[in-house]
Amino acid sequence: GAGVSQSPRYKVAKRGQDVALRCDPISGHVSLFWYQQALGQGPEFLTYFQNEAQLDKSGLPSDRFFAERPEGSVSTLKIQRTQQEDSAVFLCASRLGAGADGELFFGEGSRLTVL
């Protein structure tokens, strides 16, 4: 399909493991966002890319969280030494332009469970 694609859809990790979550935005979309959604809560902003530049990473909860988008298309969110409180759905979204106006298209998310 032509939407935002995320993989894996489900990931179970043991505490202390590193995980990598992938996002394929809609082709040509300049802006890319990562959100974290805990059970029963609204999505919370993690980080924002404009092309390959990470312009805002104010929402990343700790230095164990790292995101990249090296060629301005696919993005990877990496979580090192996972902990139980990292369990959540991680949502990726993309927008066509660089400005604030315009629709944000979300993927279906990657559900991370840390045991």
Partner 1 sequence: DAKTTQPPSMDCAEGRAANLPCNHSTISGNEYVYWYRQIHSQGPQYIIHGLKNNETNEMASLIITEDRKSSTLILPHATLRDTAVYYCIRLNFGNEKLTFGTGTRLTIIP
Q: Under the rule (CB under 8 A), what is the footprint of partner 1?
A: 4, 31, 33, 35, 41-45, 48, 56, 59, 91, 93, 95, 98-101, 103-109
Q: Cα(52)–Cα(45) distance, rounded to whole angstroms? A: 18
Residues 6+ apart with CB under 8 A from 10: 110, 111, 113
- Minimum Å gap between C-beta 115 and partner 1 is 21
In the complex with partner 1, which residue's Cβ is closer, 14 or 39? 39
Q: What is the 3 state secondary structure string of 73-113? A: CCEEEEECCCCHHHCEEEEEEEECCCCCCCCCEECCCEEEE
- Minimum Å gap between C-beta 34 and partner 1 is 10
In the complex with partner 1, which residue's Cβ is closer, 74 or 104? 104
In the complex with partner 1, which residue's Cβ is closer, 80 or 87? 87
